[in-house]
Amino acid sequence: MPFSFFKRKPDTFDYEAVRSCCNCHHTFKGRYCNRCGEKILEPGERTFITFLNNLLNAFTFLDGKFVRSLKLVVLQPGQLSRNIAEGIRVPYMKLVSLFFVANFFYFLFPTFDSFNSSLYSQTNLMGQHSVKARGLVAKEVERRQLSMKEFEEKYQAQSTNLSKLLLIILVVALTLTNMVINYSKKNYFFDHLLISLEFYSYHLLINMLLLPVLAILLVKLANQVHWNWSEILEDRIFSWPISASVLYFLVKAQRRFYHQKWYWAIPKAIVLFYLFMETIKLYRIVLFYITIWTI
């Protein structure tokens, strides 16, 4: 029965028995040595079926830490960071890992072009910046003697690589902003970092992946006959639901993570929201110039 692999097995381990650690010879009760952390190896644990089971568990996110962590991030923003900061860590994925998983999925399916800003949106959809960008691109294409298509391919590849790196800078920027906005709460740098990682994990998975996919499905359902990808992917169309979602997270996080009262949580979330939007704008402009300079 392959499905039995996915079920949690009842814990039959005897926690009262006194054991001696194979590694440091310390005697203790329980599954892990309380001096060096070595795990007790049970008789059945070296069988092939256990090996297979562990392998499957490592590869399936089903019923695992990922789903549990993501559920908390979506339903109770700020609670995962609060739990981790207070020392409840075993049931959840590390926030750094969650952030990198989100990062990975986002760049695997770049449904929504916001972080990995395409050459098209850089040169057409960003107002004053686009005018300058168009001029610079024309100059570069001529200088390098490339066709527009060749240049665009090079640009896109480099921009994708750089944007993954620059996303980390966005997390740090939000951490510092959180430190200033919530200065009165006397948290450590690490605490502000946790909530910032949680925010960007949420933003990538929900606002940049799930919402656009839902929106595309809705549009597809609505006009089954004729619809245009580039129009749907243009990042202005769905800015309202995404803004609402960002604000939802920020207000909830102020309440749950920073324990702010309502009358502080809302204005603080609005300030954070404004700074977040400005940071994204700046990020996209910086991404454009660094990409042009490094290809």
- The residues of the shown chain that bind Zn ion, judged by CB under 5 A, are 21, 23-24, 26, 33, 35-36, 38
Nearer to Zn ion among residue 28 and residue 248 (C-beta): 28
Nearer to Zn ion among residue 21 and residue 174 (C-beta): 21
Strand partners, 32: 39
- Euclidean distance between CA atoms 269 and 254, whole angstroms: 7
Nearer to Zn ion among residue 13 and residue 61 (C-beta): 13
Nearer to Zn ion among residue 33 and residue 95 (C-beta): 33
| Cβ atoms of 224 and 254 closer than 8 Å | no
Question: What stretches of the chain adopt beta strand conformation (E)?
Answer: 18-20, 27-29
Nearer to Zn ion among residue 34 and residue 124 (C-beta): 34
What is the smallest separation between the CB atom of 94 and Zn ion, expressed in angstroms? 24
What is the smallest separation between the CB atom of 204 and Zn ion, expressed in angstroms? 40
What is the smallest separation between the CB atom of 57 and Zn ion, expressed in angstroms? 25
What is the smallest separation between the CB atom of 19 and Zn ion, expressed in angstroms? 10
- Euclidean distance between CA atoms 199 and 272, whole angstroms: 12
Nearer to Zn ion among residue 29 and residue 134 (C-beta): 29
Q: What single string gives the DSSP state of each residue in 225-294?
A: S---HHHHHSTTTTHHHHHHHHHHHHHHHHHHTT---HHHHHHHHHHHHHHHHHHHHHHHHHHHHHHHHH
What is the smallest separation between the CB atom of 87 and Zn ion, expressed in angstroms? 22
- Euclidean distance between CA atoms 81 and 94, whole angstroms: 10
Nearer to Zn ion among residue 23 and residue 54 (C-beta): 23
What is the smallest separation between the CB atom of 13 and Zn ion, expressed in angstroms? 17
Q: Which of 117, 107, 106, 280 is nearest to 210 (CA)?
A: 106
What is the smallest separation between the CB atom of 38 and Zn ion, expressed in angstroms? 5
- Euclidean distance between CA atoms 20 and 25, whole angstroms: 5
Helix axes 262-294, 239-256, angle to 10 degrees: 120
